[in-house]
Amino acid sequence: MKKGALTLSLAGALALSAVPLNSSVVEAVGNGPGYGGNETVNTSILTTYSEMADFLQKQEAKQENMELEVIGQSVKGRDLYVAKYMSNPENPTILFLTQQHGNEQLTTEGALEFIKHLGTGKMKGVTDNVNILVVPMLNADGAMGDVDFSLEDYVASGDRNLTRYNAVGVDLNRDHITKIQPETKALHTNVMSKYDIDYMIDLHHQGANSERDGELVSGSILYPTTPNVDPEVLEGSKKLGAVVFDAVDSTGWGHLGKYRGGDAETISRNGIAVEYGISTLLFEMRGMSDHEYEPYVLGQKSNGYLIKQTVTTLESTVRAIADGSIDTQDTSFWDTLAFQQTRETE
Ligand SMILES: [Zn+2]
C-alpha cells in the first residue's frame, strides 16, 4: 500500500540539482536532523529509475570517454547498467557499486553527480590513468518499490517506497556466492568476470543513530574481514580506506567510524575480495531513504552532505589511483579507528 498524496516526480536533472550542495556549513553530517517522526520523508526528490536511465543515456551521448552498457535485467525486467571509462586496459581499474539495497539511494545520487563531473573540466585527464566502472542502482526494483511484498509499514510518504530487498524479497548482498538473483548474476557475469578490476567500493546506507567518540557519524567503513582474503588484497583495501578516510574526514563535516561487519563471503565486501582478488571497501553512509523501522530512516535535510560525501569518496579514490598516491597510503589509522556504537534513542 502506498501512503499519502500522489506526488509528481521531478525530471532527472532537476532532481539532482534540487539537492543543495552547501559547502559553507562545517557542521558534521551526523548532527543533521534525523527522521524521528518529526518530518515527512518525501521520496519524490530522489531520482527515479527511468530518470537515471535517461540521465545515463544523455551523458553517454555527451561524453566521448564514456560507454554505457546494459549488463542484464532485474526481476521485473528493468535494464541494469554499467557506465564505463576504459581508456587503457593497462590502467588500474576501480568499480563503484551502489544500491544493492534499494532503500539506500543517496549513494546513487552521488554516483550520478560523479559521472556528470567526469564529463567536465573538473576531472580533466583523470580517466587517462585510471579505468572506472560505475554500476548504479543494482536493485532497481527495490529502489522503485516495485516488489511482490507488502509496503504497508514503510515510513516514506508519497507515491514511491524504497526497499532493501529485490522484487522477490531477497537481500542481494547475501547472494554473492550462489548468484541466483538476476541482479547479482548480471553483476558477476558481465562486470566482475569480464574486467580486470583492482578496487571496488560498495556503497550503502546504515541506520541514522551510530556514533564514534560521542558524535554521530556521517558513515562507517570496513575492509574484507574473511580469513580467506589474500594479505595483499587486504592491504589494498586498507589503502583504499585510508584515501577515503582522509578525504572525508578533512572536509569538516565528515566523521567516520569503523563498521562492525561479519565475515560471510555471501557479502560482496568479503566474497568479491576472495573470488576475484579485488581490494574491496564497504562504505555505509548515515540513514536510509525508507524502511519499515523508523530509526533507520533519515530525513532529507542531510541529503546534500551525504551526496557530497559520495562524490568526495569517488573523486578522491580515482585521483589517488590515477596519480599512484594510493600505493604509499599509511594504513595504521585502521588500528586506532574506533568501531561505531549505536546511540541509545529515547
Ligand atoms: Zn546496504
Report which residue type is found at 141. Answer: D
Please report which residue ranges of 29-151 form alpha helices under DSSP H. Answer: 49-62, 106-118, 140-143
CA distances from 165 to 135, 151, 162, 168 (A): 17, 12, 9, 7
pLDDT of 242 over the 70 cut: yes
User: Counting beta carbons within 10 angstroms of the beta carbon of residue 337, is it exposed (0 to 12), middle (13 to 18) or buried (19 or more)?
Assistant: middle
**Least confident residue range of 39-48, 203-212, 248-257, 267-276:** 39-48
Helix (H, G, I), strand (E, B) or coil at 1: coil
The CATH number covering residue 79 comes to 3.40.630.10
Q: Is the pLDDT of residue 94 over 60?
A: yes
How many helices (H) does the chain have, and how many strands (E)? 9, 11
The answer to whether position 2 is within a domain reads no
Q: Which amino acid is at 137?
A: M
Q: List the grid coordinates of 92.
A: 588500474
pLDDT(18) > 60? no
pLDDT tens digits, one per residue of 132-147: 999 999 999 999 999 9
Give distance in angstroms: CA of 283 to centre of ligand 1: 9
Whether 12 is in a domain gets the answer no
Instruction: Give me the helices (H) in 8-47, please.
Output: 12-17
The 10s digit of each residue's pLDDT in 147-161 is 999 999 898 887 899
pLDDT given for residue 297 in this prediction = 86
Could you tell me if residue 1 is inside a domain? no
CA 312 to ligand 1 center in whole angstroms = 19
Cα 190 to chain centroid, rounded: 19
Instruction: Kindly state the percentage of the chain with pLDDT values over 90.
Output: 79
Q: How far is the CA of 101 from the centre of ligand 1 (A)?
A: 5
The Å distance, Cα 43 to ligand 1 centre, comes to 18
Judged against a pLDDT cut of 50, whether residue 292 lies above it is answered with yes
Place 38 in a pLDDT band, splitting at 50, 70 and 90: low
Name the pTM for this structure: 0.90
Does residue 186 lie within any of the structural domains? Answer: yes
CB atoms within 10 A of CB 14: 12
Q: How far apart are CA 10 and CA 60, in angstroms?
A: 21
* Maximum Cα interatomic distance, the chain, rounded to a whole number of Å: 54
**How far apart are the CA of 129 and the centre of ligand 1, in A?**
30
Q: How far does the centroid of ligand 1 lie from the alpha carbon of residue 280, in Å?
A: 15
C-alpha–C-alpha distance, residues 6 and 8, integer Å: 7
Residue 283 grid cell: 562504505
CA of 160 to the centre of ligand 1 (A): 19
303-322 helix and 106-118 helix, angle to the nearest 10 degrees: 50
Question: How far is the C-alpha of 32 from the C-alpha of 330, rounded, in Å?
Answer: 31
Is 314 a domain residue?
A: yes
Determine the distance separating the centroid of ligand 1 and the alpha carbon of 3, expressed in angstroms: 24
- 190 domain residue, yes or no: yes
- pLDDT average, residue stretch 293-320: 92
Task: Please list the residues that pair with 212 across neighbouring strands.
Answer: 215
Please give the distance, rounded to the nearest whole angstrom, from the Cα atom of residue 260 to the centre of ligand 1. 13
Average pLDDT over residues 226-247: 98
Positive or negative torsion for Cα 13, 19, 24, 26: negative
4 in a structural domain: no
Q: CB 331: neighbour CB atoms within 10 A?
A: 17
The Å distance, Cα 220 to ligand 1 centre, comes to 12
Beta bridge partners of 219: 256, 285
- pLDDT of 283 > 50? The answer is yes
Q: Compute, in angstroms, the gap from residue 121 CA to the centroid of ligand 1.
A: 32
Position 329 pLDDT exceeds 50: yes
In total, how many domains does the chain have? 1
242 is in which domain, residue-wise?
A: 27-342
Q: What is the pLDDT of residues 305-314, one digit of tens each?
A: 999 999 999 9
| Under 8 Å between Cβ of 288 and 207 | yes
In whole numbers, what is the pLDDT of the chain averaged over residues? 90
